[in-house]
């Protein structure tokens, strides 16, 4: 081995701990980056593969009833690949041990085998035997929520007739990855299920023998989706078709896509910030490390080593350190990426998980880490070789003496000599001190950024379901019903207050922008559904016109006073013009609101409601459920608050995993930075401190001089870290703006406290580690050799 | 007439190795200016053994550093053979140091993470026709310290490693800043003998800074610096061998 390489290797070993700490900093950045992006890629790929293997349809069309013979007409539409018809109904269920009304979609199974499209993935048991009217296959999530297994029974009211059904299998379906009831914002696995039954008995029950009320198709590659939809609508129109929808608008797909989109922002914005911080810190640490080598660089130059040779030499050292970090980071990132993908696979009930690790992701992480490190190295080497070697080799100049502020103010007699040394040292090297402070505060800032989500989600739910929506439950009708039906609800004992509402699916259009959502009609001075502004003040819905969620107004780029085109997506599918009157702040969903009476007038429907919000006496909840089940028009009951709680409890597992890991790695980075800064400070000052020891200073005094300075810098870093952490969190919150939800910038005190705690703990642990070196300072050696 | 003083009459122009005119070095330290060299005119000849004397702070190290391409003058010219060191590029200076100069630094400047032997190897590995590192160590009487790290060597031993490192590459120019400052007379003589051998056998142009006026007796020429100027310079007609020096 060449002498230069030996030097490298020995110096690398000599700074093992420090190298490890640096490697940990960049490794953490790499790990988060790879974990997030690989999990994201895996989810997208898994969904694609699932859709493809199970032939998820491209177009879905519902209608009243059409004869099977119509299929030949549909087949004639150019661009269609496969067609499947089916019978679908909306039923209510009665499940032993669960009082509340449960609604479900009941779908017909294909006549033979798995069918052509939207094939089920059987988790357990078998499919229902053709012709059997008492066998059903149940969606797995629903079964799990109720603890149901093959062989268990449940009762369903099918077209008014109560029937006992036996579960023969549990299944997953690409159509119900996101199992969400129509009109709901969140999946509620307890109150909404999906069931499959043999086609023949189901068709008979609804008078659909030889007919169908839903058709789904897949498209050929070269086809034009909109053309096919238009064709299909034409054919189905006479049969009560309500308009075919593309996959993009299919409920489960749409929510899944939004959720993945959401995840994508998280999984790109967050790791990029995280990584950038790690890279910046790497740069700072490496630069200071190379600065320590100033003298050696001068010596090598004096021997005739060229600047490039010197740069290569130090780049090798840095590469060794960074490789350890990058390799470790990739390993950890892949491992955690698999863990996170698995959690989401379960969360979204994918039948399988395909782990995708794109080479680009690894290459990007590696190139960025190495690039940053080499850049830091070259920059510092460049600065070192710029000096003539004669200057570089001279023992460092005693720094010009300034009286510190404290001394100018004549306060020095209040401070001991060592304390004055600390203050002078900080004042003399303001840039170095500042960099240390910034480094530590950035590390604590990313810890805050990791921690802010949880509190934000809690706040979001509290606002939406504590202040804005105040009902205990929502009863939903099978179809729009006269407001007079509210009386029967009011008369149920235990019901304290009832408020009808109307929900209409619409497409809003402004200029060339459009958005599919629902208009919610709410009564004036509603007590149970109140719109809020940012300060949580109630926004009254005006007698005329629309109120949009702020986010939606921004998305459509429409301002109050302007006319919005509203296409009603049910009934007569009319198109009307409605002015935008105002906006409301909402963290969940992107809806439009109108006065109930105004909406009904616009729909020319009279006094119709889609359902009612109920405020009830908690004691009589059971009786109320029982009573609701007896009312035939009631399709089901939604309990948003509990469904959201449930959703987030499952979600919490994923969030906890993510924030857990990022917080941990944030702490690792904080430690790495603190330890390195201290280590470097020790190297920079070991001669000075050893000299002080020689002059008779005690160990405790030089410990105080070095660590005291550090304690001071750490304390300065904490508030700055809070500030930066707030900034980064604000940026994140700003980025996570999707139509599903907007994250409010809420940072609880514990987030602040935790980030400070991590920094302080890192400083204490580092101090203990450094202290061992400090008391072992070899006075003789330090004075003999010049490093 | 400093010009005349510094030019020995026996030498011809073609033998000039260093050609120094009006060399000035000014250090700026905040408000204060320090004139380390204030217009030096000097020629050094091939194979010549020159001793530089002068009080502390008189500018000896500064002069030697500039000759070695380690520093650049503020004013004036320094020529090395046909090369102009004053206007040399960074790359040219590197080549110059790499292939022409052996340097012994006043503060040794050994690399702490390398052993005595490796400290020499680090230089010989990039030289054109070096000695074996071990040979160089034996020349300065350190054959038994090859595997010691600088921190495990005494000050004098470190200094000898630095000298071995300078002569190991068999340079054309050898510049030594107080090479015997930390040595006793016996070891000092060993070291000086080594320097003289390199000077005689290889015709290496040698300049040695010392505070020990006795050493001047072995020089071909002696130059005194005072406050950044040459105050005295003379040719020694009969240099003696190091073992005859009065220490
Ligand atoms: N980098 C520098 N910056 C400022 N002043 C310097 C610098 N290097 C040298 N000097 C000043 O230049 C003058 C000459 O210094 P030099 O090192 O050449 O002296 P010297 O003759 O070698 O002294 P010594 O015998 O003590 O080594 C001194 O006054 C010194 O303080
Ligand atoms: Mg000197």
Q: Which residue in A6, A295, A298 is closest to B118 by CB distance?
A: A6
**Which range among A12-16, A402-406, A643-647 has the greatest average pLDDT?**
A12-16
What is the distance between the alpha carbons of residues A742 and A456, in angstroms, rounded to a whole number?
A: 10
Interface of B with A (CB under 8 A): 30, 61-62, 65-66, 68, 70-72, 90-91, 94-99, 101, 103, 105, 107-114, 118-119, 121-123, 125-126, 150-151, 155, 158
Cβ(B162)–Cβ(B154) under 8 Å?
Answer: no
Whether A3 sits inside 8 A of B113 (CB atoms) is no
Atom of ligand 1 nearest to the CA of B62: 18
- Average pLDDT score over residue span A751-776: 89
Q: How far is the CA of B56 from the centre of ligand 2 (A)?
A: 7
Q: Please provide the average confidence, as pLDDT, over all residues in chain A.
A: 86
Provide the pLDDT confidence category of residue A360 given band limits of 50, 70 and 90: very high
Residue from B92, B126, B148, B174 whose CB has the most chain A CBs within 10 Å, to mutate: B126
Protein residue closest via CA to atom 6 of ligand 1: B27
Characterize A718-757 residue by residue with b for buried, 16 or more Cβ atoms within 10 angstroms of its Cβ, and e for exposed.
bebbbebbbebbeebbeebebbbbbbeebbeeebbebbbe
Pocket perturbation via mutation, ligand 1, pick of B34, B52, B106 by most ligand atoms within 8 A of CB:
B34
pTM metric for this prediction: 0.79
Pocket perturbation via mutation, ligand 1, pick of B59, B67, B229 by most ligand atoms within 8 A of CB:
B59
Provide the pLDDT confidence category of residue A294 given band limits of 50, 70 and 90: confident
Q: Which residue in A296, A304, A784 is closest to B98 by CB distance?
A: A304
Return the bridge partners of A475, or none. Answer: A612, A637
How far A680 CA sits from the closest chain B CA (Å)?
17
Ligand 1 contact, B54 CB (< 6 A): yes
Reading phi first (left if > 0) and then psi (alpha if -120 to 50, else beta), residue A81 is in alpha
Cβ(A179)–Cβ(A102) under 8 Å?
Answer: no
Cβ(A92)–Cβ(A475) under 8 Å?
Answer: no
Whether B155 sits inside 8 A of A301 (CB atoms) is no
Dump pLDDT digits (tens) for A270-284.
788 778 878 887 887
Task: Provide the greatest CA pair distance for chain A.
Answer: 105
Angle at A605 between CA A599 and CA A606, to 5 degrees: 90
Q: Which domains does chain B have, with CATH numbers?
A: 47-71+90-240 (3.40.50.300)
For residue A52, report the phi and psi dihedrals to the nearest 5 degrees.
Answer: -70, -50
Whether A395 sits inside 8 A of B107 (CB atoms) is yes
Please tell me the predicted confidence (pLDDT) of residue B1.
34
Dump pLDDT digits (tens) for A112-166.
777 889 999 999 999 999 889 899 999 999 999 899 999 999 999 888 888 999 9
How far A784 CA sits from the closest chain B CA (Å)?
7
A780: closest chain B residue by CA: B151
Q: How far is the CA of B57 from the centre of ligand 1 (A)?
A: 5
Ligand 1 contact, B210 CB (< 6 A): no
CB atoms within 10 A of CB A400: 9
Q: How far is the CA of B61 from the centre of ligand 1 (A)?
A: 7
Query: At residue B9, does pLDDT exceed 80?
Result: no
How far B77 CA sits from the closest chain A CA (Å)?
17
Give the percent of chain B with pLDDT over 70. 94
Nearest to A251 by CA among A179, A193, A192: A179
Instruction: Give me the count of residues in chain B.
Output: 247
Whether B97 sits inside 8 A of A303 (CB atoms) is yes
Atom of ligand 1 nearest to the CA of B106: 27
**In Å, how far are B43, B231, B233 from B5, measured between CA atoms?**
11, 10, 6
What is the distance between the alpha carbons of residues B41 and B124, in angstroms, rounded to a whole number?
A: 33
Query: A4: which chain B residues are within 8 Å (Cβ-Cβ)?
Result: 122, 125
Query: At residue B4, does pLDDT exceed 50?
Result: no
Please tell me the predicted confidence (pLDDT) of residue B38.
95
Please tell me the predicted confidence (pLDDT) of residue A403.
62
What is the distance between the alpha carbons of residues A508 and A125, in angstroms, rounded to a whole number?
A: 45
Protein residue closest via CA to atom 7 of ligand 1: B27
Ligand 1 contact, B27 CB (< 6 A): yes
Nearest to B156 by CA among B123, B130, B132, B190: B190
- Average pLDDT score over residue span A424-444: 83
Q: Which residue in A11, A307, A391 is closest to B71 by CB distance?
A: A391
Q: How far is the CA of B228 from the centre of ligand 2 (A)?
A: 12
Dump pLDDT digits (tens) for A554-583.
999 999 999 999 998 877 778 999 999 999
Return the bridge partners of A193, or none. Answer: A104
Atom of ligand 1 nearest to the CA of B64: 18
What is the distance between the alpha carbons of residues A211 and A138, in angstroms, rounded to a whole number?
A: 24
Atom of ligand 1 nearest to the CA of A391: 1
Query: At residue A613, does pLDDT exceed 60?
Result: yes
What is the distance between the alpha carbons of residues A275 and A269, in angstroms, rounded to a whole number?
A: 10
Provide the pLDDT confidence category of residue A481 given band limits of 50, 70 and 90: confident
What is the distance between the alpha carbons of residues B26 and A123, in angstroms, rounded to a whole number?
A: 86
Pocket perturbation via mutation, ligand 1, pick of A298, A394, A396, A397 by most ligand atoms within 8 A of CB:
A394
Please tell me the predicted confidence (pLDDT) of residue A549.
92
Query: A312: which chain B residues are within 8 Å (Cβ-Cβ)?
Result: none
Query: A300: which chain B residues are within 8 Å (Cβ-Cβ)?
Result: 122
**In Å, how far are A20, A63, A150, A213, A240 from A71, measured between CA atoms?**
68, 13, 34, 12, 15
Q: Give B197's contacts (C-beta < 8 A, 6+ positions apart).
A: B139
Q: Which residue in B65, B107, B121 is closest to A3 by CB distance?
A: B121
- Average pLDDT score over residue span B52-76: 93
Ligand 1 contact, A394 CB (< 6 A): yes
Q: Is B89 exposed, middle or buried (0-12, 13-18, 19+ CB in 10 A)?
A: exposed
Give the SS3 label for residue B11.
coil
Query: At residue A380, does pLDDT exceed 80?
Result: yes
Q: How far is the CA of B58 from the centre of ligand 1 (A)?
A: 7
Characterize A315-331 residue by residue with b for buried, 16 or more Cβ atoms within 10 angstroms of its Cβ, and e for exposed.
bebbbebbbbbbebbbe
Q: Which of A183-187, A369-373, A442-446, A658-662 has the lowest mean pLDDT?
A: A183-187
Ligand 1 contact, B212 CB (< 6 A): no
Has the ipTM of the complex gone over 0.85?
A: no
* CA dihedral for A326, A331, A336, A342, sign (positive or negative): positive
Give the percent of chain A with pLDDT over 70. 94
Dump pLDDT digits (tens) for A302-351.
888 999 999 999 999 899 999 999 999 999 999 999 998 998 888 888 99
Q: How far is the CA of B6 from the centre of ligand 2 (A)?
A: 21
Protein residue closest via CA to atom 30 of ligand 1: B57
Helices (H), chain B: 2-5, 60-67, 90-100, 116-124, 133-139, 155-168, 185-202
Nearest to B42 by CA among B78, B6, B80, B81: B6
**In Å, how far are A785, B108, B160, B161 from B147, measured between CA atoms?**
17, 18, 14, 12
- Average pLDDT score over residue span A475-491: 86
Return the bridge partners of A218, or none. Answer: A82
Nearest to A175 by CA among A92, A264, A107: A107
């Amino acid at each position: 081995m060449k002498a230069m390489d030996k030097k490298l290797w020995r110096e690398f070993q000599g700074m093992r701990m420090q190298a490890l700490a640096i490697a940990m900093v960049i490794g953490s950045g790499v790990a988060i980056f790879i974990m997030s992006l690989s999990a994201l890629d895996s989810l997208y790929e898994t969904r694609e593969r699932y859709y493809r293997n199970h032939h998820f349809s491209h177009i879905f069309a519902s209608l009243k009833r059409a004869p099977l013979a119509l299929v030949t007409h549909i087949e004639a539409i150019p661009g269609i690949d496969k067609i499947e018809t089916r019978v679908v109904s909306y039923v209510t269920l009665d499940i032993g041990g669960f009082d509340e009304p449960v609604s479900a979609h009941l779908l017909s199974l294909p006549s033979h085998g798995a069918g052509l499209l939207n094939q089920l993935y059987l988790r357990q048991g078998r499919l229902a035997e053709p012709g059997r009217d008492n066998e059903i296959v149940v969606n797995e999530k629903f079964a799990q929520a109720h603890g149901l297994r093959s062989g268990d029974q449940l009762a369903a009211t099918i077209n008014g007739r109560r029937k006992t059904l036996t579960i023969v299998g549990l299944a997953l379906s690409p159509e119900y990855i996101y199992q969400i009831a129509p009109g709901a914002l969140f999946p509620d696995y307890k109150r909404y299920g999906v069931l499959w039954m043999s086609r023949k008995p189901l068709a008979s029950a609804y008078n659909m023998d030889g007919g169908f009320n839903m058709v789904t198709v897949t498209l050929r590659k070269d086809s034009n989706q909109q053309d096919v939809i238009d064709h299909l609508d034409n054919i189905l129109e006479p049969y009560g078709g309500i308009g075919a929808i593309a996959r993009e608008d299919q409920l489960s797909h749409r929510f899944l896509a939004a959720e993945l989109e959401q995840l994508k922002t998280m999984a790109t914005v967050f790791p990029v910030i995280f990584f950038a911080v790690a890279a910046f810190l790497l740069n700072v640490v490496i630069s200071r490390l190379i600065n320590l080598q100033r003298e050696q660089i001068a010596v090598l130059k004096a021997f005739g080593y060229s600047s490039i040779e010197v740069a290569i030499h130090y780049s090798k050292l840095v590469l060794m350190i960074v490789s350890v970090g990058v390799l470790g980071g990739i390993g950890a990132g892949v491992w955690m990426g698999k863990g996170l993908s698995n959690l989401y696979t379960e969360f979204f009930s994918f039948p399988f998980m395909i782990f995708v690790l794109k080479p680009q992701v690894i290459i990007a992480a590696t190139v960025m880490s190495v690039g940053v490190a080499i850049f830091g190295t070259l920059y510092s080497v460049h600065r070192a070789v710029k000096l003539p070697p004669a200057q570089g080799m001279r023992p460092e100049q005693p720094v010009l003496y300034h009286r510190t502020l404290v001394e100018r103010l004549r306060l020095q007699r209040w401070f001991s000599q060592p304390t004055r040394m600390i203050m002078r040292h900080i004042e003399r090297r303001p840039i170095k001190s500042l960099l240390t402070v910034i480094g530590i505060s950035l590390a604590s800032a990313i810890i805050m950024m990791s921690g802010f989500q949880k509190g934000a989600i809690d706040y979001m739910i509290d606002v939406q379901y504590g202040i804005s929506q105040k009902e205990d439950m929502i009863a939903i009708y099978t179809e729009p019903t006269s407001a007079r039906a509210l009386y029967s609800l009011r008369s149920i004992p235990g019901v304290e207050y009832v408020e009808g509402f109307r929900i209409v699916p619409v497409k809003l259009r402004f200029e060339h922008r459009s958005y599919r959502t629902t208009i919610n009609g709410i009564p004036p001075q509603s007590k149970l559904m109140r719109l809020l502004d940012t300060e949580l003040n109630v926004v009254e819905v005006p007698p005329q016109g629309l109120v949009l969620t702020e986010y939606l107004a921004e998305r459509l780029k429409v301002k109050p006073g302007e006319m919005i085109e509203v296409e009603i997506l049910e009934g007569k599918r009319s198109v009307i013009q409605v002015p935008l009157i105002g906006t409301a702040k909402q963290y969940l969903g992107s809806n439009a609101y109108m006065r109930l009476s105004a909406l009904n007038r616009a729909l020319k429907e009279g006094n119709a409601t889609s359902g009612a919000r109920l405020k009830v006496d908690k004691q009589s909840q059971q009786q109320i459920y029982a009573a609701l089940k007896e009312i035939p028009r009631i399709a089901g009951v939604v309990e948003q608050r509990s469904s959201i709680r449930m959703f987030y409890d499952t979600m919490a597992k994923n969030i906890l995993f993510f924030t857990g890991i990022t917080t941990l790695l944030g702490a690792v980075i904080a430690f790495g930075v603190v330890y390195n800064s201290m280590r470097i400070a020790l190297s920079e000052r070991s001669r000075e401190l050893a000299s002080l020891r020689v002059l008779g200073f005690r160990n405790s005094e030089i410990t105080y001089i070095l660590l005291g300075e550090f304690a001071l810098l750490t304390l300065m870093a904490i508030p700055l870290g809070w500030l930066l952490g707030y900034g980064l969190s604000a940026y994140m919150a700003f980025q996570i703006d999707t139509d599903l939800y907007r994250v409010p910038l809420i940072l609880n005190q514990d987030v602040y406290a935790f980030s400070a705690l991590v920094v302080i703990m890192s400083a204490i642990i580092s101090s203990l580690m450094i202290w061992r070196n400090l008391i072992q300072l070899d006075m003789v050696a330090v004075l003999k050799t010049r490093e | 007439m400093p010009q005349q003083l510094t030019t020995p009459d026996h030498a011809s122009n073609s033998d000039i190795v260093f050609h120094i005119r009006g060399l000035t070095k000014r250090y700026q330290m905040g408000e204060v200016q320090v004139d380390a060299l204030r217009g030096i005119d000097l020629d050094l000849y091939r194979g010549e053994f020159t001793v530089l004397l002068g009080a502390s702070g008189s500018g000896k190290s500064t002069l030697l550093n500039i000759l070695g391409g380690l520093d650049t003058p503020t004013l004036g010219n320094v020529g090395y053979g046909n090369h102009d060191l004053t206007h040399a590029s960074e790359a040219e200076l590197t080549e110059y140091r790499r292939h022409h100069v052996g340097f012994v630094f006043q503060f040794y400047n050994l690399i702490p993470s390398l052993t005595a032997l490796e400290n020499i190897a680090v230089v010989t590995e990039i030289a054109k026709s070096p000695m074996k590192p071990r040979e160089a160590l034996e020349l300065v009487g350190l054959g038994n310290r090859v595997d010691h790290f600088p921190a495990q060597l005494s000050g004098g031993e470190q200094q000898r490693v630095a000298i071995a490192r300078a002569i190991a590459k068999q340079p054309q120019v050898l510049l030594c800043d107080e090479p015997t400052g930390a040595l006793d007379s016996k070891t000092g003589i060993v070291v000086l003998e080594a320097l003289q051998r390199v000077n005689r056998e290889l015709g290496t142009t040698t300049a040695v800074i010392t505070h020990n006026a006795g050493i001047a007796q072995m020089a071909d020429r002696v130059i005194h610096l005072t406050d950044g100027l040459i105050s005295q310079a003379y040719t020694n007609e009969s240099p003696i061998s190091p073992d005859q020096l009065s220490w």
